[in-house]
Structure 1
């Protein structure tokens, strides 16, 4: 498996989730399975089936997080020589030149992308257009609705 780029904050969030799954969720599921088994006949025991299903989810997520964290390449943009260029981890404010709408995005790895929190994947069309550019540049992005132009208003490294 190749290196998975991730921000410092994203790495810490995944470590916290893994710790919670291993030390809170897993023991709770094991206890729920034991309680359901104590009720007797497992063939018609909905609580047992639900607990086993939850155990499968928890174990799957633990396995996924172990893999991601062991292959993570933690990138701290504050430690990079950027010369004002947009790089992985940068927080960028852009303005749509057609509508005048402004939005702030942080460019993150695929595993931590979350548009609701304005974190876009480094492999997204917008991020690919922004990487390497500077404050004041205008970039063109191919969007499902057609070509869009954005002006880069500010670049921060957090």
Structure 2
């Protein structure tokens, strides 16, 4: 029997994927019309408009397949508001070496964006934080070495 791997994500991440799918599906008829118009121009071997329109439609179709697969294998994790860190938790940490603080939302892989303070649960820092609670100090094993962080607050 084949094992199925689910993609863990927050309800917000799931909705973002659904919104992307809806936007791409709205755009699809326009891309198809552009391809038909370019095909009508004649000689396909030297028709740049046709080649470009065909490539853009293939890219859109590929992206739709990818996003639909993400939705199909999604495991939406709803935070139960416990004091332990899980997907969807907002956590404030202090780096022990320089005492700087940072606040992150723990999210699934595809949602991660450090510019928006969204930390992937399977990143080195995310893995160290998962299941911990406020007041704990954890060691983070990263590719560049290890460091300690203290968890200040969990929401």
Report if TM-score (shorter chain) is over 0.5.
yes
Show the counterpart of 1:122: 121
Return the offset for 1:61.
0.9
Return the offset for 1:144.
2.9
Return the offset for 1:150.
0.8
Structure 2: gaps (5+ residues): none
Point out the more displaced range, 128-137 or 97-106.
97-106
Q: Deviations over 1:113-157 (max 9, x none)?
A: 22222222211110110011111111111123321111111111x
* Aligned equivalents of 1:43, 1:7: Cα separation in 2: 47
Show the counterpart of 2:38: 36
Show the counterpart of 2:25: 22
Structure 1: gaps (5+ residues): none
Q: What pairs with 1:88-103 in structure 2 (closer than 5 Å)?
A: 88-103=87-102
1:133 equivalent to 2:123? Answer no
User: Which one of 7, 11, 16 corresponds to residue 4 of structure 1?
Assistant: 7
User: Which runs of 4 or more aligned residues in structure 1 lie more than 2 Å from their structure 2 counterparts after TM superposition?
Assistant: none
Show the counterpart of 2:85: 86
Show the counterpart of 2:144: 145
CA RMSD of aligned residues (A): 1.4
Show the counterpart of 1:60: 62
TM-score of the two chains, using structure 1 as the length reference: 0.89
* Aligned equivalents of 2:16, 2:81: Cα separation in 1: 25
Q: Deviations over 1:4-38 (max 9, x none)?
A: 21101101110000011112x21121111012112
Give secondary structure in 1 for the equivalent of 2:23.
Answer: helix
Return the offset for 1:81.
6.1
- Aligned residue-pair number: 152
Q: Cα–Cα, structure 1 residues 81 and 105, in superposed 2: closer, same or farther, change >3 Å?
A: closer
